[in-house]
Amino acid sequence: MITSVAKAWWNRRYPNWVAESALRYLPVTEAIRQNPPQGLILEVGVNCSGLTTYLPLPVVGVDSVMGTARPPLVTPILAWGQALPFLGKSFDYAVCMDTLEHVEDSERSLVLSELLRVTKRRVYLGCPMGAAAEQQDRELQRYGGSFPYLDEHVANGLPRLETVLEEIQELARRSGCLINVYCEGNLNLVIHRLLIRLWMRPDPVSYALHRLAVVFVHLRRWLNVGSCYRQIVVVDFEARGQ
């Protein structure tokens, strides 16, 4: 009885939450709650549900591959981030989390350009970046074997923060947009390694520990210190015209 009650409470409190995914999305959802959208939200790289797992707001979800599941808050659009099928300034906010690293380096600028083109107020872009994160991905690949997402990270190489910031500024300059850009580290490398290793292990103890690790979300502000696996870049448009 106690076990079933505890399990029901857990599933209500953390419905479909995974620790490393929650730690990735919650800084974005907190920012959106503080400044709610005045129009549509776009998520590029929505996968199954993405943002809506942690923020119960409707989104237009773009991905190059769509599963059979249709989350009620996601309007799915099958498309590539390099060529979004929307008019300019169609969305108040655009969110793109852990997607850019799955795009070949030569096409990443196209994704950035499209995100800026279709967004009116703010873009949230987050992904693993930098040499230290790239080295950790290689170590994890050797530790756990082949996983499609990790294989793509290693094959494509991770974006560099300075390159992404430079490209965003140059794209804004070309389009005549005035923007403010800021970024913050997300998920300390040591914590990221721990979570992914637990996820990779097949034994029941590791599975249970990985499930319980979602409580780390309550300590997340202390987990974004030092060398981080991911960077979250926020692009604000200054008084963009109607």
pLDDT at 69 > cutoff 80: no
Q: Tens of pLDDT along 169-189?
A: 999 999 998 999 999 999 999
Q: H/E/C letters for each residue in 130-160?
A: CHHHHHHHHHHHHHHCCCHHHHHHHHHCCCC
SS (H, E, C) 5-36: HHHHHHHHHCCCCCHHHHHHHHHHHHHHHHCC
Q: Which structure tokens are listed for 130?
A: 């930098």
User: What DSSP designation does 192 have?
Assistant: H
- Neighbouring-strand partners of residue 44: 62
Q: Identify the DSSP state of 60.
A: E
**Residue 36, both tokens:** 């709610």
| Pick from 43, 42, 145: nearest CA to 98 | 43
Compute the distance between CA of residue 15 and CA of residue 53 in angstroms, rounded to an integer: 8
Radius of gyration of the chain (CA): 18
Structure tokens at 4: 């079933």
Residue whose C-alpha is closest to residue 158's, from 83, 230, 80: 230
**How far apart (Å, rounded) are the C-alpha atoms in residues 29 and 12?**
18
Instruction: Select from 3.40.50.150, 3.30.565.10, 3.30.70.870, 1.10.3720.10 the CATH code of 2-237.
Output: 3.40.50.150
Length of the chain: 242
Instruction: Tell me the domain boundaries of the chain.
Output: 2-237
Residue 242's pLDDT band, with cuts at 50, 70 and 90, is very low
30-57 mean pLDDT: 93
Task: Over range 82-87, report the average pLDDT.
Answer: 97
Q: Is 89 left (phi over 0), alpha (psi -120 to 50) or beta?
A: left
Of the pLDDT bands very low, low, confident and very high (cuts 50, 70, 90), residue 2 is low
Rounded Cα–Cα distance for residues 240 and 217 (Å): 34
Mean pLDDT of 30-45: 95
> Whole-model pTM above 0.85?
yes
Does 70 have pLDDT greater than 80? no
Per-residue pLDDT, 241: 47
Q: How far apart are CA 32 and CA 153, in angstroms?
A: 28
Is the predicted pLDDT of residue 240 greater than 60, yes or no?
Answer: no
In this prediction, residue 3 carries a pLDDT of: 72
Look-up: residue for tokens 């990985």? 210
| The pLDDT of residue 78 is above 80 | yes
Beta-strand relationship, 59-63 and 91-97: unpaired
Label residues 38-52 b or e (16+ Cβ within 10 Å = b).
eebbbbbbbbbbbbb
